[in-house]
A and B are shown apart, each in its own frame.
Chain A
Amino acid sequence: MSTKEKLTFDVIVVGAGLAGSAAAVIAARNGLKVAMIERGQTPGSKNYFGGALYTHSLLEIYPDLWDRKPPLERPVTESGFWFLSKDGMVRATVQGGKMQNDPIDAYVALRAKFDAWWAEQAKGEGVFIIPKTVVVDFIREGEKVVGVVTDRPDGEIYAPVVIICEGVNNLLTQKLGLSKHDLKAHSSALAVKQLISMPAETINARFGLPSNNHGLAASVMGDVSMGLPGLGFLYTGTDSVSVGVGVTLEALTKAGIKPYELLQRYLNHPMIAPLIAGGRLMEYGAHIIPEGGWTTMPKLYTDGALVAGDAASMVNALHWEGTNMAIMAGKAAGETAVEAHQKRDFSAKSLSSYRARLEKTFIMTDLHQYRNLSHFLKTRPDFMDIYPAFLNDALGMFFSGFGKPKKQLYKDILRSLTDRRPLVKAAGDMIAFGRTIIGF
């Protein structure tokens, strides 16, 4: 201990991302003195995603969200799947109908802009932000976490509770023993993306959007990942399009494909290239998505510390959910810190109410339900290869089979499946996929 006065807060939040700023503002709103430590130049500068944010989670933290003028891009008014074959595409997207909620459920966003604003809102409610600072270790008293060590000179900061929102590379979570191992190749997807700038009117015309207040989110399967377990995506921003692809590190390794070549191949696809032609590359980036979800979730609390967001593997890969889980988990962690201060008890037992809070939300239920998804894709590595291509062939034949006996047409369609996969195995795939989604 130095002779200097110790820098002490009620709560330390590590990382000013979606989870961090949510946790911090909830604690500050309840009268606690909160320090939020961010390693980037500014909050958001290390964050890269598809992607869309979900209004239900934003409103959960700021009911007056719209008055605060969040820097969101287009609302997602059309959403769905694009199934790519080598030279074709089947689109299954939905618009209108149940997509027309007020507010719209999802908004396209750019994280460097959004997270900076998100942290600024927390600052407005009293959170003390410490940027350009890396947390490198914890200060412990026995087993108890009582603060953090940063990479600044005399960089110790004390608080009886530390909320770890460090992101996917959860080295601090591992350091505490909450996660027993580093990320695994089969449950970590590497996503690479290009942000491509185009005039809003061009985006409207090419994607069939009636105005700048309409947006598309497409989850792209099949040839986009060369049939590997993974997904492509395309999101329309206000005057930019985000196009990217994520594949598990294991699949990437087995196939021996460089991530940026896979992305460029997607951008060159005959169905995709015309949509982005003439656009200007504004930014490239890469980020790992912790797709293990339930199976790779660390222990969520220990004496004096909680974990939320990507660091806690809170991602539902199939539904592109993660940002909302991070925010909801951040809120639950903030509430838990408030309760711990009221009880003056920061033991693991006291902080275990964090898990109970999460169990009351969709987070734990969903992650448990989808716990076998990584395993499913691992054991059926050609799932994304066979079915999107078959769908393209089947519909392509159906809609071009004019003047042919239809009996022959159906035989041909069936054969385009059985050439790829025996019928019994295809049926097995569907049942297994169904079970994976239902969560048996």
Chain B
Amino acid sequence: MTQTKTAPQNDLPEVYIDDILMTLKYFTDEHETHLKIIDPQVCMSCDSKPCVQFCPVGAYRTQDGGTVQIAFQSCVECGTCRVLCPNSNIFWKLPRGGYGVAYKFG
């Protein structure tokens, strides 16, 4: 009997997260971003970048030079980036009242 232990990670499907996000409804705050990188320099020396890897809506992208850009418009306000940032380098607050994601079903 041969056993596979943990499934190999290369069996993960490719997902186009932007297509999936089309199902979400947002009220975008045009005047204020609720997420900010506190010190961009810190991101340049961060190899793991859990924000980029684990944000469930892929709002964090690595830029040339190793800084991180945030598409705050797609944030669903879960908190993952804040909890995982090894350098506490993400300024995280809730969008202003009424803004941000608005689940239609939940």
Contact = CB atoms under 8 A, between A and B. Distances in A.
A111 B102 CA distance: 11
A184 B84 CA distance: 8
Given A86-B4, A195-B105, 13 more contacts: A41-B27, A86-B7, A111-B105, A169-B78, A192-B56, A257-B9, A259-B54, A259-B56, A259-B80, A282-B105, A287-B78, A389-B3, A416-B3
Contacts of B84: 185, 249, 253
A240 to B, nearest CB: 7
Contacts of A114: 106
B1 A260 contact: no
A283 interface: yes
A60 interface: no
Given A226-B6, A257-B12, A259-B54, A285 B106 contact: yes
B104 A268 contact: no
Interface stretch (B17-25, B37-45, B65-73): B17-25
Interface residues of B, number: 46
Interface string A176-197: 0000001111001010101100
Q: What DSSP secondary structure best describes chain A's contact surface?
A: mixed
Interface of A: 39-42, 44-49, 86, 110-115, 131-134, 136, 150-152, 168-169, 171, 182-185, 188, 190, 192, 194-195, 223, 226-227, 240, 249, 252-253, 255-262, 264-265, 268, 281-288, 382, 385, 389, 393, 412, 415-416, 419-420
Contacts of B78: 169, 190, 286-288
A134 B94 contact: yes
Interface in B39-75: 48, 50, 53-54, 56-58
Given A44-B103, A132-B98, A258-B15, A226 B83 contact: no
Interface in B81-106: 82-84, 93-98, 100-106
A284 B54 contact: no
B3 A110 contact: no
B61 to A, nearest CB: 13
Contact of B80 (A41, A133, A195, A249): A249
Contact of B1 (A169, A287, A412): A412
Contact of B98 (A40, A223, A393): A40
Across the A-B interface, the 10 shortest Cβ-Cβ residue pairs:
A111-B106, A132-B98, A286-B56, A112-B106, A132-B97, A133-B97, A45-B102, A259-B56, A261-B12, A169-B79
B106 A188 contact: no
B11 interface: yes
A183 B79 contact: yes
Contacts of B31: none
A77 to B, nearest CB: 22
B70 to A, nearest CB: 16
19 contacts: A44-B103, A45-B101, A45-B102, A46-B103, A49-B106, A86-B7, A111-B103, A150-B97, A226-B9, A227-B6, A249-B84, A253-B48, A259-B80, A260-B15, A260-B56, A285-B103, A286-B76, A393-B1, A393-B3
A111 B84 CA distance: 27
Interface of B: 1, 3-7, 9, 11-15, 17, 20-21, 23-24, 27, 48, 50, 53-54, 56-58, 76-80, 82-84, 93-98, 100-106
A39 B97 contact: yes
A285 to B, nearest CB: 6
A395 to B, nearest CB: 14
Contact of B94 (A39, A41, A86, A286): A39
A249 B103 CA distance: 23
A112 B103 contact: yes
Contact of B17 (A110, A252, A260): A260
Nearest to A389: B3
Contacts of A110: 105-106
Nearest to A155: B97
Contact of B103 (A47, A240, A253, A393): A47
Contacts of B24: 283-285
A2 to B, nearest CB: 20
A83 to B, nearest CB: 15
Given A185-B83, A287-B78, A46 B105 contact: no
Nearest to A280: B23
A171 B90 CA distance: 14
A181 B102 CA distance: 28
Contacts of B103: 44-48, 111-112, 283, 285
A262 B12 contact: yes
B79 A168 contact: yes
